[in-house]
Amino acid sequence: MELQTQWVEHQRDGQPMRAYLARPARVSSPLPAVLVIQEIWGPDHHIQDVARRVAMAGYTALAPDLYSRGGRPEVLAEERIDAVKAFLDTVPQQAWHDRSVLEQALAKRPPEEASRLGETLGRLFGPRDMDGFVADLRAWIAYLEASPASQGQPVASIGYCMGGALSFALATAEPRLVAAQVYYGSAPPVERMDQIRCPVYGFYGEHDPRITDPVPEVAKAMAERGKHFEYIIYPGAGHAFFNDTRSSYEVNAARRAWARSLALFARHLGGEA
């Protein structure tokens, strides 16, 4: 399928931000929309590819660059994030959040390289303005509502890792959202679940204890509040099992998860037989 892809711009509070947009090139009418929410790496080649896959299924896909509002800082430049990805592939995934292991690995690099990697690592894995990101995503929903690409059509979200957490968080803050898909992302605080109005669907890996172990309690909390939450834990899969550009990719889990995602889009965005 031929796609129309482009970077588009929008503003929140007078600050510019950008997003990657993809949709079928031969369709002129508005289409249901999917917000494709980035991992910590930003809307990189993988996230752009996911957006194109969504568009090939017949939707308008929009992948916001959550680091772009007001200008992306140098420490989060794409080439510096790519360098961090390459560095992290040299250490066990379970050590990504272990500062001592990372510092030992950084100490083996030339000082200038280690300094740059450490600075970007600190920004990527340090404190994040999740509420600010949610506000950005809500502004992008307003953009989709006004855009000829999706005007008057329903909007769902799908997010990965940090983006999975943001997809869940967006469901607590945005009544216009019709469904939220959460790939290996953490849940919002229990007290915010009362605000959820749409179904939430979880995709988790068996070997991702930091994210997956709390899921049964998340399901219990959602059920106690009368909220719709369905989840699957994929055997043999770890964190980021859907990212086919990383060593974490698990093809069997990814294949099954993507089929489920497409079925859920059809159910909530229209077009289901």
Q: What is the DSSP letter of 189?
A: P
Strand order in the sheet with 15-24: 3-12, 15-24, 60-64, 33-37, 155-160, 177-183, 200-207, 229-238
Residue 268 annotated in active site: no
Contact 31, 149 (CB under 8 A): yes
Which of 44, 65, 136, 208 is flagged as catalytic? 208
Beta pairing partners, 8 = 19
Which of 161, 213, 244, 268 is flagged as catalytic? 161
Residues 6+ apart with CB under 8 A from 247: 89, 93
Which of 10, 46, 239, 268 is flagged as catalytic? 239
Burial class (CB in 10 A: 0-12, 13-18, 19+), 139: middle
Residues 10 and 70: their CA atoms lie apart, in Å, by 11
Nearest to 210 by CA among 238, 179, 234, 247: 238
Query: How far, CA to CA in Å, does 59 sit from each of 52, 55, 151, 270?
Result: 9, 5, 12, 10
Residue 208 annotated in active site: yes
Residue 129 annotated in active site: no
Q: Hey, which residues are catalytic here?
A: 161, 208, 239
